[in-house]
Amino acid sequence: MNKILVVDDEVSIYESLRMALGKEHDLLWAANAKEAMRLFHEQNPKLVLLDIIMPVINGMEILTAIREADKSIPVIMLTATRMVKTAVEAMKKGATDYLTKPFDVEELRLIITRTLANQALEQEVRYLRSQVEKRYNFHNLIGKSRQMRSIYFEIEHIANTKTTVLITGESGTGKELVARAVHYNSPRKEKPFVAINCAAIPETLIESELFGHEKGAFTNALHRRLGKFELAHEGTLFLDEIADLSLATQSKILRVLQEKEFTRIGGTSTLKVDVRVIAATNKNLEPLMKQGLFREDLYYRVNVVSIHLPPLRERREDIPLLVRHFLTAKTDEEGRKPKEISREAMELLIKYDWHGNVRELENVIEQIIALSNSDQIEPQDLPSHIKDQIRAGSLREETLAQRISLEKAVMEFEKEIILDALKKTHYVQTRAAALLGITRRMLKYKMDTLGIALSEN
C-alpha cells in the first residue's frame, strides 16, 4: 500500500479521506506544519494531500518546505472553491494538482491514481537516464592505455563546451560511444542524443532524414516528418560517416551550423535550432578536400576539436580489459554462468591484429560464448582465422630472425593450409583441392611432398 500524508487541521477531513481511501492506501495524518514535516521525513510518503488554510504556518509555506526537502514527491492541494486562485499559485510553486472541497470521491481516486502513475513513470525515466549516463560516462570507456587516458582527458575538457567535435578512427573503434560520452557529460545530457549514419541512407532520402519534410513535399510524403536536426533541438546530433555525404547535402549542413536555422523540404518557414553537432568518419578528410569531394569550409566548421581513436592493435594492453568486460556482459545477457579465459588463449587474442577493432573483438567473444560449453576458454575455442593469422605472423618473424629458412616457412605454411582444407572437407581430396583452387593431382603431389597422411589417421 502507498503511504499518503494528509495535512489538514480538520480531523473530519482526515476521517473522510480515510473512509474513502483507507482500503487502497496507508493514510498518515498531520494537523500542523511541525507534525507534517516530522511525518514527511520519517515515513517517506509517496504522496501528500495538503490543505492550503492551516493554523500558524499555512499550506503554501509547508509546500515550500516539502519542495526544498524533496522535489519528486507529488503534492495535491486541498482548497475551498474561493481559494482556487491560491491553489493555482501553489501549482506554480511545485504542487502537482489541486482539489476543491467538498471533493468528489471518484474524482479524488482518479487524481491520486493518475498522480501516482505519473510519479512511477518519472522515477523510471530518472532511473533509465541515470543508467544511460552511467553507461556513457567517459570513465566507463574501456581502456587504461596512454591513448585512452588522453581521450578521457579530451572528453572531460570539451564536454561542457558548445563547440563541434570531429571524431576520427577506423570502423569499430567506438566513435559513437565517445560521442555519447561527450553528450552525457555535457549540460545537454537531459536533452536528446540523435544519431544518423550518413553512409547507410540513400542520397535521395538523406535530406528528408536530416531536415524533415512537409506533407505533400514529394510523392509518398503523406504526413509532415521532423528531421534529425529538429529532433535533436537543445541536444546533440551525431553525424556518423560524414565523409559519405554529397556536396549538396554538405552545403546545407554548413548553413545550419552557421545560421542555426533550416527549412523542411517543401516548407516555406525558417526554423531556428539549437544543436551541438558531433561528426565522425573513418576516412581522411584532407585528401577528400583536395579531390573536391569534401567541402573545405565544412571541414573547418566541424573540425574545431578533434578526437582520434586509435585502432585496437595500437593499444594491445587494453585487450584483456575488453575481453573480460565482454565476457561478463555477454554471459549476463544470456543468463549463463561466467566464463574464465586461460592465459594461452588471452595471449593469442592480444597478438591478433583486430582489423575490425573493438566491434570485431565483441563479436568474437559473443561467438565463443555461444559455441563453448566449458567454464574456461582455451586456445582451441578461438575462431580458426585468429589462430591462422597468428601462426602466419610467427612464421614471418622466425624467418626474418633467421631462425628458419624461407623455404621451411613456406612449407610449414602450405602444410597448415592444406591440413585445414582437408579437415573442413572431411579428407575428401577432390573437395579440398577445389577449396584451395588447385587440381586434385597438385594436391596429392603437395601432400606427398609435405608428408601429409592420406587419411585423418
pLDDT digits (tens, 9 = 90+) for 178-219: 999 999 999 999 999 999 999 999 988 999 999 999 988 888
Query: pTM for the whole thing?
Result: 0.64
Asked if pLDDT for residue 10 goes beyond 80, the answer is: yes
d(CA 74, CA 48): 6
- How many other CB atoms are found less than 10 A from the CB of residue 436? 18
**Residue 456 — pLDDT band, cuts 50, 70, 90?**
very low
For position 336, what pLDDT does the model report?
86
For position 386, what pLDDT does the model report?
84
Give Cα separations from 40 to 60, 96, 113, 166 (angstroms).
16, 17, 20, 50
Give Cα separations from 65 to 45, 73, 88, 95, 445 (angstroms).
15, 12, 18, 12, 92
Could you report the per-residue pLDDT of 230-247, keeping only the tens digit for each? 999 999 999 999 999 999
Contact residues for 324 (Cβ-Cβ < 8 A; gap 6+): 341
- How many other CB atoms are found less than 10 A from the CB of residue 396? 12
The upper half-sphere exposure of residue 209, i.e. CA atoms within 13 Å in the direction of its Cβ, equals: 18
Q: What structural domains does the chain harbor?
A: 2-128 (3.40.50.2300), 142-310 (3.40.50.300), 316-450 (1.10.8.60)
Specify the residue for cell string 583452387.
437
Could you report the per-residue pLDDT of 292-337, keeping only the tens digit for each? 999 999 999 999 999 999 999 999 999 999 999 999 989 988 888 8
3-state secondary structure of 385: helix
Q: What share of the chain is helix, strand, coil (3-state, %, to 5)?
A: 55, 15, 30
